[in-house]
Amino acid sequence: MKAITKTDYHFPKQTAVYNGKVRDVYTIDNDLLVMVTTDRISAFDVVLPKGIPFKGQILNQIAAKFLDATTDICPNWKTAAPDPMVSVGIRCEGFPVEMIVRGYLCGSAWRAYKSGIREICGVKIPDGMSENQRFDTPIVTPTTKAELGRHDEDISPAEIVAQGLVSAENYAVLEKYALALFQRGTEIAQKRGLILVDTKYEFGARNGEIYLMDEVHTPDSSRYFYLDEYQERFENNLPQKQLSKEFVREWLIENGFQGKAGQQIPEMTETVVAGISARYMELYEQITGEMFENISNENIEERIEKNVLNFLEIH
């Protein structure tokens, strides 16, 4: 199985290239974005040394489905998906924050809570909560949007406005959109027998209008629990069976890596890589309710280039 971890295209009227942790974004004529979702995988804000076959296709197709399913809530950047690993859309000026919405106390929020912290991003968390417990209402815990290789930092809405990262008026819109999107994601997940636990959203502006950007409700940006097992596992203080990238983080932690200085990334054997790829296929099928179409991943670079060039020629 082949994995695409790097792209180097030169499309007509290309004006810029941005290489993120997972996506390579090509700007066309300063107006259009061609976003290639690679097979790179990151954890603890570190890009791991090996790619995961089919991961890019899976993430791109899940994101495209959820972007299309939420256009009535807010406008989004996507206009087309000319290749299984590519989405194309309008260029926006991104806000330098990520909107994290949490419906349950788990992950990094639980780790902070367990250490004694009772306020996250200006949101007070009551005493006496347990891991994976549902909040009475979802909470928003924004983070700064860090550069590649640096960690995102928790930040409160008041600090966001005070630092001039986002105006108070725009921040109110971001929070409104984020909570509405989370509610829609929750409803869709429930139909699939899942619980949308937490997720992140990125927004940008174009001509004064706010747009949803990047991926939405994918296993890289979101955490899901299985609905039918949640209550019993919670009451018995058992780990939740979940659909997310958390299993990758757990594997890294078990092998002594959390992205801290001096720590070595454990060896990613062929067995480990194949196992992660299989889990992503499972994630796709559970989240979308559809069978994953295993498109040949031979000559992926040529296929992507051909499909994008055909799209640009028509448009």
Q: Please list, residue by residue across 211-240, b when 16 or more beta carbons sit within 10 angstroms of its beta carbon and e when fewer do.
A: bbbbbbbbbbbbbbbbeeebeeebeeeeeb
With a CB cutoff of 8 Å and minimum separation 6, the contacts of 140 are 99, 100, 101, 102, 121, 123, 157, 175, 178, 179
What pLDDT shows up at residue 155?
95
Distance (Å, rounded) from C-alpha 215 to C-alpha 21? 13
What pLDDT shows up at residue 244?
79
Do both 118 and 87 map to the same domain? Answer: no
Domain end: 244, 277, 294, which one? Answer: 244
Which stretches of the chain drop beneath a pLDDT of 70? 146-151, 296-297
What pLDDT shows up at residue 297?
61
Do both 230 and 101 map to the same domain? Answer: yes
Do both 25 and 144 map to the same domain? Answer: no
Do both 69 and 193 map to the same domain? Answer: no
Number of residues in the chain? 315
pLDDT digits (tens, 9 = 90+) for 112-143: 999 999 999 999 999 999 999 999 999 999 99
What pLDDT shows up at residue 233?
97
Answer whether residue 253 is part of any domain: no
Do both 159 and 33 map to the same domain? Answer: no
Do both 22 and 101 map to the same domain? Answer: no
**CATH code of the domain containing 164:** 3.30.470.20
Do both 81 and 104 map to the same domain? Answer: no
What pLDDT shows up at residue 293?
87
What pLDDT shows up at residue 296?
67
Domain that holds residue 226: 96-244
Do both 232 and 151 map to the same domain? Answer: yes
| 187, two tokens | 């409803």
Residue with tokens 């993430």: 59
**CATH code of the domain containing 296:** 3.30.200.20
pTM of the model: 0.88
Do both 134 and 21 map to the same domain? Answer: no
Half-sphere exposure of 234 (CA within 13 A, CB side): 17
Do both 100 and 236 map to the same domain? Answer: yes
> Mapping DSSP to helix (H, G, I), strand (E, B) and coil, where does residue 135 land?
strand
With a CB cutoff of 8 Å and minimum separation 6, the contacts of 78 are 64, 67, 68, 87, 88, 89
Answer whether residue 260 is part of any domain: no
Number of structural domains the chain divides into: 2
What pLDDT shows up at residue 19?
93
Answer whether residue 264 is part of any domain: no
Do both 87 and 100 map to the same domain? Answer: no
What pLDDT shows up at residue 145?
82
